[in-house]
């Protein structure tokens, strides 16, 4: 029976989640939608913390990939790191063209459409099922209309982010990287070759912004160390700032900003050569 099949898929999608029993009871109550994505099964469901606003989430690989408010705040970001990515407009107030790699629930492009009229945002999302979910449950079409009404645009490309960069896109004022496969970052977008391709897609002095997430409850920042070391081979200036959401995430988020122009953030985290990890390289063919 279809209902029984969906229940089995939900059980599989929740396997391995922290406090699985408690979470499962909450999700069953909220009647989740099962979405077949390229990486397996995703869940779309609504949660509420105490008396707080209801929040719809997209969960894949045991982690939240995106979230949205449902009422008047539906264009606002739920997670702090999306607001951190919007510091782009603090660094480069004259931004007019942005490339965002990794769509998910399109939280960052929605923020741009609602708060920065006139900006043209191209979003590259590899999975068409995720785009369909964003249109159905995360107000993507409304954001497109809002961007266009403000004199900008929001265009969606179903494509591999690395391939999109390699074909010679742009030029953009900014490239934003927020692409994950479940809980893991998209490794093909973190190598020297990928970051140099991103630099080529930028106008002179343009900026790259990346959401980088810790592991092991914040104690493992090895990927952050390696990403910073790699970015320093592609860009003249690389800074790191905190972008964590203590309420909604078990891991720490960091904003990494890279540019050949000036980059100054008041809350930048100082680091030295000892902090830098192993440089990330593409696999040999």
Q: What is the mean pLDDT of residues 87-107?
A: 97
Statement to judge: residues 203 and 63 lie in one domain: no
pLDDT band, residue 188 (cuts 50/70/90):
very high
Mean pLDDT of 251-259: 95
Range from 1-10, 79-88, 143-152 carrying the lowest mean pLDDT: 1-10
Q: Which domain holds residue 235?
A: 80-275
Structure confidence at residue 49 as a pLDDT band (50, 70, 90): confident
Instruction: Assess whether 31 and 153 both reside in one domain.
Output: no
Q: What pTM does this model have?
A: 0.88
pLDDT tens digit sequence for 58-88: 998 888 889 999 999 999 999 999 999 999 9
Residues 10 and 119 both lie in one domain = no
In the listed set 69, 101, 117, which residue is the last one of a domain according to the structure? 69
User: Is the N-terminal amide bond of 17 cis, ω within 30° of 0?
Assistant: no
| pLDDT at res. 181 | 77
% of the chain residues with pLDDT over 90:
75
pLDDT tens digit sequence for 119-131: 999 999 999 999 9
pLDDT at residue 118 above 70? yes
Among 9-18, 36-45, 154-163, where is mean pLDDT lowest? Answer: 9-18
Taking only the tens place, the pLDDT of each residue in 166-184 is 999 999 999 999 998 767 8
More confident residue, 8 or 88: 88
DSSP string, the chain: -HHHHHHHHHHHHHTT-TTHHHHHHHHHHT-PEEEEETTEEEEEEEE--TTSPPEEEEEETTEEEEEEESSTTTTS-SSHHHHHHTTHHHH-TT--EEEEE--TT-HHHHHHHHHSTT-EEEEEES-HHHHHHHHHHS-HHHHHHHHHHTT-EEEEEES-HHHHHHTT---EEEEEE--EETTEE-GGGSSHHHHHHHHHTEEEEEEEEEEEE-BGGGTB-HHHHHHHHHHHHH-SEEEEEE---TTT-SS-EEEEEEESS----TTPPP--GGG--PPP-PPP-
Query: Is residue 196 domain-shared with residue 266, that is, in the same domain?
Result: yes
Q: State how many domains the chain has.
A: 2
Span 211-240, pLDDT tens digits:
999 988 888 999 999 999 999 999 999 999
Mark whether 44 and 86 lie in a shared domain: no
Query: Within this chain, do residues 63 and 166 fall inside the same structural domain, yes or no?
Result: no
Do 113 and 212 fall within a single domain?
A: yes
95 shares a domain with 30: no
Say if residue 178 is in the same domain as residue 246. Answer: yes
Indicate whether 162 and 190 sit together in one domain. yes
105/182 same-domain check = yes
Judged against a pLDDT cut of 60, whether residue 29 lies above it is answered with no
With bands split at pLDDT 50, 70 and 90, how would you rate the model's confidence at 283?
confident
Please check the confidence at residue 15 and state whether its pLDDT lies above 50: no
Q: Specify the residue for token string 């900003």.
A: 257
Mean pLDDT of the region 22-46: 73
CATH number at residue 118: 3.40.50.150
Residue 138, C-beta contacts closer than 8 angstroms, at least 6 positions apart: 56, 58, 66, 68, 105, 106, 107, 110
């Amino acid at each position: 029976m279809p209902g029984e099949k969906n229940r089995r898929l939900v059980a599989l999608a929740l396997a391995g989640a922290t406090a699985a029993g408690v979470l499962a009871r909450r999700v069953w109550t909220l009647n989740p939608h099962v979405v077949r994505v390229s990486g397996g099964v995703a869940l779309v469901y609504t949660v509420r913390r105490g008396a707080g606003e209801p929040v719809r989430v997209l969960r894949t690989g045991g982690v939240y990939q995106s979230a949205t408010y449902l009422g008047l705040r539906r264009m606002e970001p739920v997670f702090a790191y999306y607001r951190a990515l919007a510091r782009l407009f603090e660094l480069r107030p004259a931004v007019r063209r942005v490339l965002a790699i990794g769509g998910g629930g399109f939280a960052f492009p929605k923020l741009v459409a609602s708060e920065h009229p006139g900006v043209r945002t191209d979003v590259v999302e590899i999975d068409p099922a995720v785009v369909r979910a964003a249109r159905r449950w995360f107000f993507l079409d409304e954001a497109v209309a809002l961007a266009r009404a403000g004199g900008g645009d929001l265009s969606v490309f179903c494509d591999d982010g690395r391939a999109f960069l390699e074909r010679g896109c742009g030029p953009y004022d900014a490239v934003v990287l927020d692409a994950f496969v479940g809980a893991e970052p998209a490794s093909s977008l973190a190598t020297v070759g990928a970051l140099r391709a991103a630099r080529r897609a930028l106008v002179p002095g343009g900026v790259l912004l990346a959401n980088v997430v810790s592991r092991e409850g914040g104690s493992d920042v090895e990927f952050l160390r390696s990403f910073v070391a790699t970015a320093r081979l592609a860009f003249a200036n690389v800074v790191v700032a905190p972008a964590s959401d203590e309420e909604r995430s078990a891991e720490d988020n960091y904003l990494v900003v890279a540019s050949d122009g000036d980059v100054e953030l008041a809350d930048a985290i100082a680091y030295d050569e000892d902090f830098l990890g192993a440089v990330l390289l593409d696999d040999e063919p």
